[in-house]
Amino acid sequence: MDFVLSRVEDPGWLAGVWIFLVEAPPPWFENLLHVSVVVLLVMLLVSERRHTKIDVQPKIDKPSDQEVTADTLAEHIDLDDDSYRELVAETIKAFEPHAEVYIGGKKVGPDGARSIGLEVRSTLGPAKRTTLIEVFDAHTARPAPIDLVDAVDSKRADFNADSVLICSNTGFDSAAIRKAKRKGIGLISVLASGNTAAKAVIEEEIYLRKIRVHPLNVQPFTINESDGPRIRDAWSADAQALRHNGGSVMAWLVLKAALIAIINPKLELGTDDLITSDFRFKKTTTLELGDAHVILKGFRLSFRPQVIWLSQVVRIDAQRGIYDYVRGRVRLAPGPNSQTISGIDFEKATPITDPPEAGTFFGSRNLAQGETDMAFVLVEGTGAIEPARLDELVVPEDLDLVIKEADDAEAKQR
C-alpha cells in the first residue's frame, strides 16, 4: 500500500489535517460502519523568504598555483560525473532561492587548496552565512563512511564555515551518523523521484496503530426527558436513525472517538482507560429521529479504546526534497511537490510489546521548515457512512480533542 501526500502550490505557510478513509469491508460494528484505514496526515510547511541574491556560480574560487593531490576519499566519489552534484545544487537552490550556490572547484585554506563540493552563501537579516556541502556519489552502493565526516569537520575548521553538510547518494553508515550528530554536521540525501541521478534509497522504520473505539456509550443531553429513551431505542434498531441534514450523528461521534485516540498517542491507552468527552451545542439543536424530531443540547461520549502498536520498514521518496539523517525526517522543497511512502501493510506489520518512546511518533516532535509528520492508523468503527456536519454547531473548546489526565478519577477527560 502506497500513500502519496501532494502539495500543488506553495502558500508560504500551511498547516492542515487530512483524513483519508479507505473502505475495507465487510461491516461488523452492529451494521453501523465498515472497517477502514484512517490516515491522519499533519504537515507543517513553512517557506521562509530570505531576501538575498540568487545566483549559480560555476566554481568556488580560483585554483591555487600549488599542486594539490586528490582527497583520500576520492576513490569513493564519482569525480567524472557532475550530474548528482548539479542535482544537489538545484535542490539547495529550491530551499534557498536567494542564496549564491558555487559548484565545485578548489578553496584555499591553511594547508593549501582543498576540493569543495558546494559552497552556499546566504543572508538572514544582517548576518551572512557560509555553508560547505561535501557531495558523496559512490561508484558502488557503499554508504558514506565515518572518514568522510572527519574530513568535512577538518574543512569546516580550515575555512571557518558557519555550517557544513554532507550529501550522500548512497546514505551513511551508522558510525558516520553517530559522529555527525556529535560534531553538529548535517547529513542529507537528495530525493528526486524519477531522476536517475538520485540513487539514495531511504528505508525507515515507522510505527502504526490499530485502534478499536467500540463499544461507545453515548448520552444525549435532552430538553425533554422522554427523548433520551427514544433515541437509545432508535439506535438499538438502526445506528443511523439520528441524523442532522441527512448525515449520521453516530458516524460523527464514532469519528470523534477515533480522532481522540489518534491525536493522543502519548497516552498508554488500554482496556482499563475510560475516555469521556462532552460535545455541547452552542444552542439547542433540532435533529431528525426517523420521521420525528428531537431537540438536544449536545452529547457525552465515553469509550475504552484498545490500541495495538506495530512497526514496519517502509520506503520514502519525494518529488523534490531531502532526507535529513540526523533528524530522521523528510523535508519538502517549496512549490508543487509530493511525498510517497511505500510498503505499508497492516497485516504484515510487526506487533511491538511497548509503545515507542516519546519523540518517535506523530505529534511528539517539533517540525522544522518543510518537514512533514504522519500517523498511519487502522481504526475499526469508522467508514463509508456520511457523518453529520456538527462541528459548526459545537462550542469551540469541546472540539479540542487533546485529553487531560484526571487527577482523582479513573476517567481521562478533555
Q: What is the pLDDT of residue 359?
A: 56
Residue range 269-314, pLDDT digits in tens: 444 578 899 999 999 999 999 899 999 999 999 998 888 899 999 9
Q: What is the pLDDT of residue 354?
A: 78
Whether residue 11 has a cis bond before it, omega within 30° of 0: no
pLDDT at residue 355, rounded to an integer = 74
In this prediction, residue 18 carries a pLDDT of 31
pLDDT for position 379: 81
Residue 21 has pLDDT above 80, yes or no: no
Average pLDDT over residues 47-74: 33
pLDDT, residue 27, reads 33
pLDDT digits over 341-371, tens only? 999 999 999 999 877 775 555 555 678 888 8
Does the structure show a pLDDT above 60 at 47?
A: no
Confidence check: pLDDT of 322 > 90: yes
Average pLDDT over residues 234-245: 93
pLDDT (mean) for 73-98? 77
Give the cell for residue 335.
512549490
* Confidence tier at 263 by pLDDT (50, 70, 90): confident
Answer yes or no: is pLDDT of 69 > 90.
no
Residue ranges, comma separated, of all CATH 3.40.1350.10 domains in the chain are: 55-200
Give the integer Cα–Cα distance in Å for 45 and 330. 11
pLDDT > 70 in the chain, percent: 73
Share of the chain above pLDDT 90, in %: 51
Phi/psi of residue 23, each to 5°?
Answer: -65, 140
Secondary structure in 3-state letters for 3-67: EEEEECCCCCEEEEEEEEEEEEEEECCCCCCEEEEEEEEEEEEECCCCCCCCEEECCCECCCCCC
Res 34 pLDDT > 50 = no
Mean pLDDT on 76-83:
58
By mean pLDDT, which of 53-62, 84-93, 113-122 is the weakest?
53-62
Rounded Cα distance, 7 and 322, in Å: 16
Between the ranges 13-17, 145-149, 379-383, where is the mean pLDDT highest?
145-149
- Exposure class string for 364-380: b at 16+ Cβ within 10 A, else e: eeebeebbbbbbbbbbb
**Cell 437509545, located at residue:** 232
Q: Residue 139 — pLDDT band, cuts 50, 70, 90?
A: confident
Q: What is the DSSP string of 97-154?
A: TTSEEEES-EEEETTEEEE-SEEEEEEETTEEEEEEEEEE--SSSPPBPHHHHHHHHH
pTM above 0.95, yes or no: no
Q: What average pLDDT score do residues 82-111 get? A: 90
Domain spanning 55-200, CATH class: alpha beta
Instruction: Write down the mean pLDDT value for the chain.
Output: 78
